[in-house]
Each structure stands twice: as structure tokens, then as C-alpha cells.
Amino acid sequence: MLKCWSDFPGYHDFVKDQWQSFQVSGWGGYVLKEKLKMMKNSPKEWHLNHGRNTTGRLNEVKDRMNVLDIKGEDEDLSDADREKLRSLRRHNALVNLNVNGVQVEGVIGVREVVFNHFEHHFRSVRVPRPDIGNLQFQSISEDDAYLLERPFSEEEVKQAVWDCESFKSPGPDGVNFGFIKEFWPHIKGDFMQFMLEFYTNGRLVKGSNCTFIVLISKFDNPQKVSYFRPIYLVGCMYKVLAKVLANRLKLIIGKVISESQSAFVKGRQILDGILIANELVDDAKKQKKELILFKVDFEKAYDSVEWSYLDAVMDKMGFKCKWRQWIMSYISTATASVLVNGSPIKEFSIGRGLRQGDPLSPFLFLIAAEGLNVILKASVDSGLFKGYQIGSDPLSRVSVSHLQFADDTLIIG
């Protein structure tokens, strides 16, 4: 959906009439998904027939491009300029990959390597895990649980839509939020029916939870898939639902997340933890005391979250069945396709992890990371580990054993 189409006379009436003319039956989620799918291609056809002197304007742009091409060929570039151009061209290009010392080249080979890497990466891993059954988590109140599970209102769904950037890159459905905002009065009924049915049965229809994974290179001329940073683009239906749930969760998240975690919680700043760490170092220097700082950086932290563990932690925190069902449906029905040089490879199911770029993921990761906080606290309470003692007065002395910064943890002793 292009922003410029709004400038053409008759466009708004066309979209309104088209949306109302679509005849789709089934669940609300399916109806909305299919209408968005049909709407995606309709404006293109309309624009070809109603654009103002489109052919003439297109030829004008082509002439300007030819002039620039000729100018670029005639002018000498410095070696530095040529290197910059080469760097830009190869920075995100996937031409060949090194797999266990073997060079893989060609479109088919590279796409197969990327598919195998991510399909394996997102498989659930069955390994022995600590039992959290006897650990003490902070929990939400009955009132908080009710607020999380209350019926979705049109006002909060609209707020979720308006919270999203209008013209950021869309997901697999190709629909940006500028379009949804512009035509909200005409399409809100279908969105609300989708939300109402999800509230009732906690299920998402097949195809509504697809994700594009865009690969952003960390280096020039990347030779391994791990040299790319994955960015997730989700569809508008999913993002609206995620935003509504995230807006609810962030209101109560501070009640179940300990003060050792300083990211994504209202009223806290990630710099708080950094300032505390600096104070501990200064105190150790002044008092000539020993201090251990052990930094743990979790590799692919979001991608490694096991859903069964996340559900178990939410249960311990007092989240009720309906909310947990929503979250499990929301994350466990996801499928993904990686964009290789702009083209999607075959789709695969996601078996674990949280998607970066998803509005709900930071808050769910905080809940998952709280398990580590509780385990470390239990270790200190049982005498297995001793935190750093700050303060000279024994009565007011404070012990600090760890600080958490999103996906990084600093263990202190």
C-alpha cells in the first residue's frame, strides 16, 4: 500500500467500495486475512487505470535516470568512492556461504543453507532443566489478572493501531499501518470481530501468524549465516493483537519483575543498573575490598526461550489460564520465511523463541529472565553464593549479587 495513492482522486471511495464488496465467510480471523490479501492487489490495478498521466511521468523519471547514468559513467570516481560502492553492494548480499569449510555458491544452494540453518535453529531443544516448582516468584493480584483478561474494547484496539509506525516495512501481508489508520472507519468492524473471536477461543487462524526474517549483515562480504542479524517483520493482524496484549502487560509487569532487572519496565532505566555497578566498583576501590564481576552474555537470547518454561513461569507468577492460552497461541502458531536477497525461501514452523521486533517479546523475555533472578536469589539465601556487601554500617548494609540488563546479566560477589 503506497502512501502516494491517497493523493489520487477517487482512491478513498474505491477502497471503501472494494472492502465492502468482498464476500468472505468463516471465522473472523480468516475473513480479515482474506480481505487484506484481496485488498493488497486491488489498488495496483486501480492505479494503472486511474493514475494521472502515469506513462508520461514514468518516461520522465526514466529519462532522468539515464542522464544520471551517463553522468556517473563520464565522471571519474576516486578509489575510496569505488570501494564505498563495492562495500554497499556486497554488505547485505548473500552470494556464497561457507558451511563447515565447504563453499556453497548459487541461488539454490545458498537458499537451502539458509533454510536449514534457521529451521534447525528454531527447533525446540529437549535438555534437562532446573525445576522451578519450589522457587518463590512475585505474583500478580486477582485484580491484575482480571485486567489482563478483560474483553477487548474498540478504543484500546484503535490505540494499538495508532501506536504502530505508519509506513515501516510491512510483514508478509504487505499491508502497512498507514493504510489501516486511513481506512479504520471502514475496516474496524472486521478487526474487532477477529479480536472478539480470539478473546473467546484463544486461537489464530492458519496463515495469520506468518513472519518474514530479514538478514542484516554485521560485516562486509559475510560468509556465514551467523554473520547476519535477523530482523522480524510480522503481519498487521498479528501486530495489532501483540500491541494490545503488550499494552496490558506493561501496566503490571513491574509487580512481578524484580528490581535487579532494569530494562522495559516503566519507571526504570537500563542505566540504573550501570550506575549501581559503577558505585560497587568505586566502593570496592575506596574500601580496598575484593570484588568479583562476572558478565554473562546470552547468545541468541530471544531465540532460545523455551515456551513450556515461559508458561511455567507465568503460572508461578499467578497469570490465569486464559491469558496463558492467549500467549501460547500467540507464539506457538508462528511460521517464518527468510528473505534471501529480497526473495522469501520456503516457510518453516517456529518451535521456540521470541521474535525481535514483536511488541510483546521484550515483556515476555523479562518474565523468562526472572527465572534466573529467582535462582540466583535462592542461591544467595541458601549460602551457596555471597553477594557484594556495600555500606559500613552492619544494620544498613546492602548485598548486591546480580544485575540484569535485558539479555545480559552481571553476577557480583
Question: For the range 372-376, what are the long-range contacts, defined as Cβ-Cβ under 8 Å and sequence gap of 24 or more?
Answer: 372/404, 372/409, 373/258, 373/260, 373/261, 373/402, 373/404, 374/132, 374/135, 374/136, 374/137, 374/258, 375/130, 375/132, 375/135, 376/401, 376/402, 376/411
Q: What is the pTM of this model?
A: 0.82
Low-confidence ranges of the chain (pLDDT < 70): 1-10, 42-61, 63, 67-93, 262-270, 392, 394-396
Cα angle 48, 51, 55; round to 5: 80
Q: For the segment 301-348, what is each residue's pLDDT rounded down to a tens digit?
A: 888 889 999 999 999 999 999 999 999 998 999 899 999 888 899 999
Give the pairing of strands 293-297 and 102-105. unpaired
Domain ranges of the chain: 3-51+90-412
Q: Are 253 and 138 in contact (CB under 8 A)?
A: no
CA 355, distance to chain mean position in Å, is 4
Q: How far are the Cα atoms of 127, 140, 248, 368 from residue 258, in angstroms, in the given order?
A: 27, 13, 19, 12
Helices (H) and strands (E) in the chain, counts: 14, 12
Q: Which helix (H) or strand (E) holds 411?
A: strand 408-412
Predicted pLDDT of residue 57: 60
Predicted pLDDT of residue 142: 94
Predicted pLDDT of residue 341: 83
Predicted pLDDT of residue 283: 84
Predicted pLDDT of residue 19: 80
Question: For the range 220-228, what are the long-range contacts, defined as Cβ-Cβ under 8 Å and sequence gap of 24 or more?
Answer: 220/87, 220/90, 220/91, 221/90, 222/94, 223/96, 223/97, 223/98, 224/97, 224/98, 224/99, 225/97, 225/113, 225/114, 225/117, 225/118, 226/117
Q: Which helix (H) or strand (E) holds 142?
A: helix 142-149
Q: For the segment 218-266, what is each residue's pLDDT rounded down to a tens digit?
A: 877 778 888 888 889 988 989 999 999 999 999 999 898 887 776 666 6
Lookup: cell for 242: 501483540
Predicted pLDDT of residue 35: 86
Question: Rounded distance, CA 115 to CA 167, Å?
Answer: 29
Give the pairing of strands 335-340 and 210-217. parallel
Which of 125, 121, 118 is CA-nearest to residue 212? 118
CB contact burial 215-228 (16+ within 10 A = b; e otherwise) = beeeeeebeebeeb
